[in-house]
Amino acid sequence: VAASGIILRRRRPGPGRPGRPGGARAAGRRVTASEQFAGWAFVTPGVAIILLFGAVPIVWSAIMSFQRNNLLTPSTPFVGLKNYRQLVHDPIVGQAIQHTLIYTALFVPGTMIVGLFLAVAMNRKIRFISLYRTAAYATMAVSTISEAIVFIWLFDPSYGIVNYFLSLVGIPQQQFLNSPSQALYVIVIMTIWGWTGFSVVIYLAALQGVPATLLEAASIDGCTAWRRFRRVTLPLLSPASLFLAVWLTINALQLFDEVYLSTQGGPLNGTTVLVYYLYQQAFMNFNFGYASAIAYFLFLIILVVTALQFRVGRRFTHYRS
């Protein structure tokens, strides 16, 4: 009863304003023991799992990155910055960074352009439109493994149908995933296909938020369809574009599944990306210390790239207020 009296004195949060945690409440309210208990009881299961499998491992792998830990010997002596020094001088890490960045630089804009193009085409009420949309959405339900297996077959050097299509226009058979210079690009294509549904959904949702009145106003002013798209629609889509760019980049920098399945980093390390190399070091060579250093290095790259995207992106992003 006492507790409910206290609750009655609470203020409602302002309309649509999240504010600071607890800021919406009447400040300085005495917290009852029962609320304390309820808070901890409610939070414990979820928080315990996140602490055990999220927070503790973050600290642990940071420590591990300064240790020699190879699972063979029980002792894990501290070796200072040795793992990080090794990382800087490891030529395969250099290659892995290069491949990861090339992949990201192609995959992210590629997926965004495909998604934007399809979403614009699908953002109208015409016949069969739900059929077209469903075809794009369906790629979202395909696991990376299923996707990789289909594309390995499509791009098979000897019997693949892509080579057949190329032969129809007079292009000789390509080696694709067997070629050190082409394999990465095949992986770019397969992952773009796999993410098409996602980017179409994001752009379609954003397109539906573009007010028709603005487009009408622009056409009264004599804007062509292209100019309306370029000057009205595209700027209004910029928050969605920034979100997609960041989201896709984070995922691209963590590319693993397709590489593991299609090329195992080969041929001749042509598709070794950072996470694949990290996996090799950790779970094939059991260099846990070195792998942890690579993991933290990857984290750093993700942080820097995302921060850059937000900085640059903000300049081109228009938020409607």
Partner 1 sequence: MTATSAPARGGIESSAGGGVPPVRRRRWLPFSPWHLVLVPATLVLIFPFIWLLVTSLETPSEALRFPPVLVPHTLRFANYSDALNSAPFGRFFVNSAVVVVLTVLCNLVFCSLAGYAFARFRFLGRTALFAVIMATLMVPFQVTMIPQFIITKWLGVHVLAAVGINHIGALILPNAATAFGIFFLRQFFRTLPLEYEESARVDGASRLTVLIRVVLPLATPALATLAALTFLDSWNNFLWPLIAITSTNQMTVPLGLATFQGAHATEWTLLMAANVMSLVPVLIVFFLAQRYFIRSVASTGLAGT
**Stretch touching partner 1 by CB under 8 A, among 45-53, 73-81, 83-91, 177-185:** 45-53
Do residues 223 and 307 touch, judged by C-beta distance below 8 A? no
In the bound complex, what is the minimum distance in angstroms from residue 95's beta carbon to partner 1?
18
Interface mask toward partner 1 for 64-103; x: CB under 8 A: x---------------------------------------
Residue 22 φ then ψ, to 5°: 80, -10
In the bound complex, what is the minimum distance in angstroms from residue 305's beta carbon to partner 1?
12
Please tell me the distance from the alpha carbon of residue 298 to that of residue 275, in angstroms, as a whole number: 8
Taking CA 157 as the corner, what is the angle to CA 153 and CA 160, rounded to the nearest 5 degrees? 40
Do residues 290 and 79 touch, judged by C-beta distance below 8 A? no
In the bound complex, what is the minimum distance in angstroms from residue 281's beta carbon to partner 1?
10
**Stretch touching partner 1 by CB under 8 A, among 15-23, 74-82, 91-99, 102-110:** 15-23
Instruction: By CB under 8 A, tell whether 3 contacts partner 1.
Output: yes
Specify burial of residue 6 (Cβ count, 10 A radius: 0-12, 13-18, 19+). Answer: middle
| Residue from 76, 86, 139, 309 binding partner 1 (CB under 8 A) | 139
Please tell me the distance from the alpha carbon of residue 132 to that of residue 108, in angstroms, as a whole number: 23
In the bound complex, what is the minimum distance in angstroms from residue 145's beta carbon to partner 1?
4
Instruction: By CB under 8 A, tell whether 310 contacts partner 1.
Output: no
In the bound complex, what is the minimum distance in angstroms from residue 243's beta carbon to partner 1?
4
Token representation of residue 72: 């063979």
Residues 99-118 that bind partner 1 (CB under 8 A): 117-118
Give how far Cα 102 sits from Cα of 4, 185, 308, Å: 59, 9, 17
Total of chain residues touching partner 1, rule CB under 8 A: 120
| Residue from 96, 98, 131, 170 binding partner 1 (CB under 8 A) | 131
| Residue from 57, 77, 109, 211 binding partner 1 (CB under 8 A) | 57
Residues 6+ apart with CB under 8 A from 206: 236, 237, 239, 240
Token representation of residue 283: 């779970």
Amino acid making up residue 309: Q
Token representation of residue 238: 């910029």
Please tell me the distance from the alpha carbon of residue 182 to that of residue 272, in angstroms, as a whole number: 13
Instruction: By CB under 8 A, tell whether 135 contacts partner 1.
Output: yes
Residues 203-222 that bind partner 1 (CB under 8 A): 204-206, 209, 215-217, 219-220
Do residues 214 and 232 touch, judged by C-beta distance below 8 A? yes
In the bound complex, what is the minimum distance in angstroms from residue 268's beta carbon to partner 1?
19
Please tell me the distance from the alpha carbon of residue 190 to that of residue 148, in angstroms, as a whole number: 7
Largest CA distance in the chain: 84
Instruction: By CB under 8 A, tell whether 39 contacts partner 1.
Output: yes
| Residue from 140, 268, 307, 312 binding partner 1 (CB under 8 A) | 140
**Stretch touching partner 1 by CB under 8 A, among 72-80, 86-94, 265-273, 293-301:** 293-301
Please tell me the distance from the alpha carbon of residue 200 to that of residue 118, in angstroms, as a whole number: 6
Residues 185-204 that bind partner 1 (CB under 8 A): 193, 196, 198, 201-202, 204
In the bound complex, what is the minimum distance in angstroms from residue 131's beta carbon to partner 1?
8
Q: Which is nearer to partner 1, 182 or 281 (CB)?
A: 281
**Stretch touching partner 1 by CB under 8 A, among 76-84, 95-103, 180-188, 239-247:** 239-247
Residue 78 φ then ψ, to 5°: -75, 135
In the bound complex, what is the minimum distance in angstroms from residue 137's beta carbon to partner 1?
6
